[in-house]
Amino acid sequence: MVLATIIKEEISIPEDVEVNIENTNISIKGSKGEISRRFTYPNVSIEKNENNLSLTTRFPKKTDKSMIGTIKAHISNMIIGVTDGFKYNMKIVFAHFPMTVKVGDDRVTIENFIGERHPRFAKIVGSAKIDVKGDEVLVSGINKEDVGQTMANLEQATKIKGKDPRVFQDGIYLVGKK
């Protein structure tokens, strides 16, 4: 007789959030908007009960156990995104040459960085929104990955190469997350 080993994780769904599952696609709708994502890992099944989602796997291996945790984290982030959203606060820092930051359709233009003649660009990923007020930059959105990657693109666009970072501290830096 072989005993079936089953690992089951549950995610509770808030009242104001609507979850739809079609094959491997999960779409979550809340007060801030709607996010959909495709989860195609073969050994993990996702089922919706009354007010929670259950992730199950049978005869789990090490990768199956880790994928359950990963999928649970992604779905939890999607629920947080459609209810509260994600916000990253950044600060523009310069010592001598004042930087100009302008937001376009799909990219941010950074002009006069360390006195450079040519502007630098940072891509805005997905549905992330950028708001610039003085020396403060607010990156917000409902998809955590899009907001985080847009913030990282801003930091990388102002990265100084070939100079001492203790002396040349100009750039756009992360100050806080919400």
Q: Residues 75-110: pLDDT tens digits?
A: 999 999 999 999 999 999 999 899 999 999 899 999
The set of residues, in sequence order, having a beta carbon less than 8 Å from that of 137 and lying 6+ positions away, is 89, 90, 91, 92, 101, 130, 131, 154, 172
Tell me which residue has tokens 């359950």.
Answer: 68
Structure tokens at 5: 């080993």
Q: Which domains does the chain have, with CATH numbers?
A: 6-83 (3.90.930.12), 86-177 (3.90.930.12)
pTM above 0.95? no
- The pLDDT score that the predictor gives to residue 87 is 97
